[in-house]
Amino acid sequence: MSFKKIPRQQFLYEISKLHYIDKISQKELALIYKVSTATISRTLQEAEDMEIVSIKVNDILGTKRKLENELESKYNLKKAVISFVPYNDESLIKNIVGKSAASFINEVLHENMMIGIAWGSSLYEMVKFLKSKPLNNLKVVDLIGSVGKLFSDINASELARKFAQNFNAENYFLNSLALVQNKETKEFLVREKEIKDVLEMAKRLDMAIISIGTVSFDSVVIKDLKIDRDTLEDIRSKGALGDICLRFFDKNGNKVKTGLDSRIIGIDLDDFKKVKMKICVSGGLSKLEAIKAALRNKFIDILITDSLVAEVLLNGKTNRVNINIHWNS
């Protein structure tokens, strides 16, 4: 039998039924339809993407909800959304956490809202999984200017544009680099009406969606902004261990003033903290300390993260990897 003569949706349905209900293996299906097993695998994924197939694993032990409840209670969160991950792999975690974030955003977003979007690879993954859902009078605002061309896909402006497209929303972007040459350039730019208006809008948000950054040369943002080693070491020496839109904070979530502040085009921590609903989409053990610090100073209302981070936030350790972290009180 050749699948090329079958209408696509019918083929997707047939393959899905045979595999998931009749328990015919991918290898057997490949022989039946005279295609490769890779084609069958891609077809099953397509069926899932088109919601012909819906795969659900029932959490019969209540582990996921238990973790979420405990996090909400311990850190006074409005909501915690935890995704199970088997091990600490950065790419895997970003993909899984991003997908969970997209599902949550699709549920809570409604008409007449003003949303702020930051940058980062976790948010890039989130935007990929958003479903189209036209909403009236929805405004999407950049929280910070752009990084360079190296990682342009993770720019706030690019993410906000794609986010807005999904919801048929108006998009207000900061037409500037995130980090300009000097204080004088910043002072000139923030007086420009187009930029000034967006920065003012960022002070009146209903929701802000961000990812926590780390003070590390592994950070794609640090790399693309070409922040040199001496500058980064100076920031670290002041106690900084994380950032939100390049605004750095210490282990208690307190603001760390740096030489970059006078050059940043974007929201500051004081204004960010006033946002009604602050959603953090971040995972991976490398971000654990920064997430913990942000929680301490109430920079997060809704935390969307992975099960490894959740376990360590609650218990100081996880039994599924070789790690035991002790926090400074």
Identify the H or E element spanning 46: helix 37-49
* Residue 62 near residue 248, CB atoms below 8 Å: no
Of the candidate ranges 1-10, 187-196, 208-217, the one whose mean pLDDT is the lowest: 1-10
pLDDT at 61: 59
Give the pLDDT confidence score for residue 148 in this predicted structure.
Answer: 67
Round to whole Å and give the CA distance between 184 and 321: 49
* pTM of the predicted model as reported, rounded to 2 decimal places: 0.81
Residue 289 pLDDT > 70: yes
Q: Which residue has the higher pLDDT, 148 or 300?
A: 300
Residue range 215-227, pLDDT digits in tens = 987 787 787 788 8
**pLDDT at site 218:** 79
Strand, helix or coil at 210? strand
Q: Which residue has the tokens 């077809």?
A: 43
C-alpha 329/C-alpha 271 separation (Å) is: 27
Q: Say what the pLDDT of residue 279 is.
A: 99
Q: Which residues pair with 80 in a beta bridge?
A: 303
List, in order of start, the domains of the chain with CATH numbers: 3-49 (1.10.10), 63-324 (3.40.50.1360)
